[in-house]
Amino acid sequence: MRLDRLVNVLGGYGVRLCCCPVSRSAELRSVVVRDAADDRPATGDVFLAVGAGSAVEAVRWAAAARAAVVLVRGGAEHEREAAEAGDAEGVAVMVVDPAVSWSELAGVVYGLVLEGRETESGRGPTDLFALADSLAAAVGGAVTIEDRMSRVLAYSSLQQHADPARSETILGRRTPERLRALFDARGVFAHLAASDEPLFVEQDREHGLTGRMVVAVRAGREVLGSVWATCGEPLTGVRRTAFADGARTVALHVLRSRASADLERQVESDLVFQLLEGTVDAATVVSRLGLPPGPLRVIAVRAHVADERHAALLLAFERATTGFGWSRPGRSALSGNTLYTVLPGEQASPARSWVAALRAALPAQVTVWAGIGGTAQPADLPAGRQEADECLALHEARTPDTDPPAYDESWDDILLQRLRTAAKAGRTPARGPVAVLRGHDDEHGTHYTATLRAWLEAQGDLAEAGERLGVHQNTVRNRLRRISGVAGVDLADARKRLAMIIGLAATELDQPR
């Protein structure tokens, strides 16, 4: 794990970086706490200065331990002293708010540093690949560790008995759908849901599959994933026992990884909500989230399967926040039935690409709607959230396979949508020229409302209005004369023309384009 990520995550716990004479990209691999009862020198990358009498003493301990960063308890009044000591010794210093307990902080730091490496599939404990290698050596076949969605978490470097199906799974980072269908038909997933015993899966040459042993990775009754080993025949004896025991070890690592992931999601969500709800220190929050300086956009997403909304939305949130460090382009939070993501970039195309990638990562039966707010600076993100919400509502009025609208490209549709909403709520005049013309058309079969709209949209050009209506311009002229009499309105008055076109748009029954 890099120092930059530690700084950003711990910032949510009241920990402040007061000096950093080392690179923010420095890798952190170990944690050390000074033990007063042990005189042996202790070394580590992150030093927790529990019991230090001053910042100077804490930095001295950390320097002796060859640490890159030290955490010392203190208030704002101690930051200058800590910064001077850290700069002198070449150690980054982070000051811990006195209200934060060492036990809580130690749990967070140990979880982040010891489980900080990014795996092929995103989040994963540091040694999950090493565990796959150990299992492969014990059973004599290539091993793949997958989560409950058949996504690859880790795999062994050993290639013994490897086959095309395994290669395709690793390259695609998940079991291909055709193989999932095969395993489902053979009852493999039903067995994993009901039993802790390893199961042998017969070869299938058509699918490029040699034999497999598979066992569930389980915590209590919950299936966390599965372990797969390539083999020509069922494992027996010591190899079978090692395979089953290895699955239980994998479960412990996956649980620790999940706890670390949940911790980061919580910290990230809290910071994102600060931006969306408005904060006087928005630029600092953006920095703590690890987002680059510059323009941002808010994306609002809803997802559901048939009548079930919550499960699909939670899955979308999990996919949006998968990936350790700050390798993901955006930062996300879940609010009610909506997923919000803050994404850097000035153009709308990267935001649409992000939505497309999210949709592709979800099961095919999940329906996704999204809206993209306009370009915003950090302090303007609350307005960006409202724009994203309105674009989301606009997308929900269309078919989900269309591109999600962006506010700066669809502001006219948004405005008309607002007018239609106001009209449906009875907040537009029930009487007036537009209402009179519609009533006259209904009663007499005339086409005055359509004629008025075509003329207004043509900006008074009779020929163009006639083309829109499929009639001669003289017909348009005659109708306009009658419209003035029926509606009692002066069409030469610019303000009244503006009011009428707004009234027409507000009560238009067609959906926006």
Per-chain mean pLDDT for the chain: 84
pLDDT attached to residue 59? 93
- Name the pLDDT band for 161 (thresholds 50, 70, 90): low
Q: What are phi and psi of 92, to 5 degrees?
A: -70, 140
Q: Picking from 13-22, 44-53, 200-209, 320-329, which range would have the lowest pLDDT averaged per residue?
A: 320-329
The DSSP line for 192-216 is HHH--S-EEE--BGGGTB--EEEEE
Mean pLDDT highest for which of 40-44, 319-323, 392-396?
392-396
Q: What mean pLDDT comes out for the span 333-342?
A: 91
Which of the pair, 267 or 481, is modelled with greater confidence?
481
Confidence of residue 374 (pLDDT cuts 50, 70, 90): very high
* 108-155 per-position pLDDT tens digit: 787 677 655 443 333 344 467 888 888 898 898 999 999 888 888 888
Helical packing angle, 448-457 and 494-506, nearest 10°:
120
Looking at residue 124, what is its pLDDT?
Answer: 41
Residue 122's pLDDT is 39
SS3 category, 3:
helix
pLDDT above 90 (res 215): yes
State residue 462's pLDDT score: 92
Domains and CATH numbers, the chain: 3-114 (3.40.1390.20), 127-257 (3.30.450.40), 281-409 (3.30.70.270), 428-506 (1.10.10.2840)
- Specify the pLDDT at position 401: 86
All residues at 6 or more sequence positions from 25 whose CB lies less than 8 Å from its CB, including other chains: 2, 3, 4
> What is the arithmetic mean of pLDDT over 415-419?
75
The band of 423, judged by pLDDT with boundaries at 50, 70 and 90, is: low
The DSSP call for residue 78 is G
Q: Mean pLDDT: which of 37-41, 320-324, 429-433, 448-452 is highest? A: 448-452
pTM, to two decimals: 0.51
Q: How far apart are CA 114 and CA 268, in angstroms?
A: 20
Give percent of the chain above pLDDT 90: 37
Give the CA distances from residue 429 to residues 426, 433, 434, 450, in Å, rounded to whole numbers and listed in that order: 8, 10, 10, 19
Q: Is the pLDDT of residue 14 over 80?
A: no
% pLDDT > 70, the chain? 87
pLDDT(202) > 80: yes
pLDDT of residue 145: 94
pLDDT in tens, 341-369: 999 998 999 999 999 999 988 878 889 99
454-504 pLDDT per residue, tens:
998 898 899 999 999 999 999 999 999 999 888 888 888 888 887 788 778
SS3 of residue 226 by DSSP: strand
